[in-house]
């Protein structure tokens, strides 16, 4: 039976896709049948042939060695680099939760471990017309626990704690925190890690330095986060 986890972040441009690539790579390098899925991607990249490439999916597929075309890993691909709800209002093709669930189940049929990447931060509007869908609705629809990617720099305690608190208050399990752009020689970042754990009660499972090629986490621990 396939297992999954949802990766969200404390905001946009925190490095969620970079970390997601390392997570999936860690599993696949250990010989595990691991895949990737993303419900909605905004800001697709125009290719010379006129097609639109979902960059996040392409990056993860390349990093982790997933033998699939990137467009097959994403349900909704929008051209404009704005929130999915706004992109859909401008471009059409709004997100349907039933399609997301069906596409996720299709990924589960192919992979034993499916890592689902979110869009932006946790309070990201996915659809906002006659239907109102937030990112949390996708997580609940798929029945997944979460990993929170946080920056390690100044101001990250507040952003991380608020994200974890929001998830917990909305009944979404938080399996752990991964710090990105971490500098082990920086006393402030070391304290940020300590304070995030102390305030949230959620462990920091890994610290990712700039340009890391591997995720420094025990693969069995990583496996245990999926359910």
**Residues tagged active-site:** 38
Distance, in Å, from the CA atom of 164 to the CA atom of 214, rounded to the nearest integer, reads 25
| SS3 state of residue 52 | strand
Beta bridge partners of 53: 45
d(Cα 27, Cα 80) in Å, to the nearest integer?
Answer: 32
Name the token pair of 94.
Answer: 């709004």
User: DSSP for 154-223?
Assistant: TTHHHHHHHHHHHHHHTT--EEEEEEES--TT-HHHHHHHHHHHHHH---EEEEE-TT-SS--S-HHHHH
Dihedral sign for Cα atoms in the order 224, 115, 98, 8: positive
Give SS3 for 107.
helix
DSSP 8-state assignment for residue 44: P
């Amino acid at each position: 039976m396939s297992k999954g986890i949802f990766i969200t972040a404390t905001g946009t441009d925190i490095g969620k896709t970079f970390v997601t690539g390392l997570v999936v790579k860690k599993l696949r390098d250990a010989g595990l049948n691991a895949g990737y899925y993303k419900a909605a991607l905004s800001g697709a990249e125009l290719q010379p042939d006129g097609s639109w490439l979902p960059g996040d999916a392409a990056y993860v597929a390349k990093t982790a060695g997933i033998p699939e075309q990137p467009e097959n890993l994403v349900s909704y691909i929008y051209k404009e680099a704005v929130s999915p709800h706004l992109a859909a209002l401008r471009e059409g093709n709004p997100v349907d939760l039933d399609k997301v669930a069906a596409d996720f189940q299709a990924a589960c049929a192919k992979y034993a471990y499916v890592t689902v990447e979110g869009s932006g931060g946790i309070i990201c509007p996915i659809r906002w017309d006659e239907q109102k869908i937030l990112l949390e609705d996708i997580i609940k629809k798929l029945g997944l626990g979460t990993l929170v990617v946080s920056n390690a720099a100044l101001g990250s305690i507040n952003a991380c704690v608020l994200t974890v608190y929001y998830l917990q208050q909305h009944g979404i399990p938080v399996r752990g925190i991964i710090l990105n752009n971490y500098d082990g020689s920086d006393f402030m970042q070391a304290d940020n890690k300590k304070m995030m754990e102390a305030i949230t009660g959620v462990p920091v499972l890994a610290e990712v330095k700039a340009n890391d090629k591997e995720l420094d986490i025990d693969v069995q621990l990583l496996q245990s986060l999926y359910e």
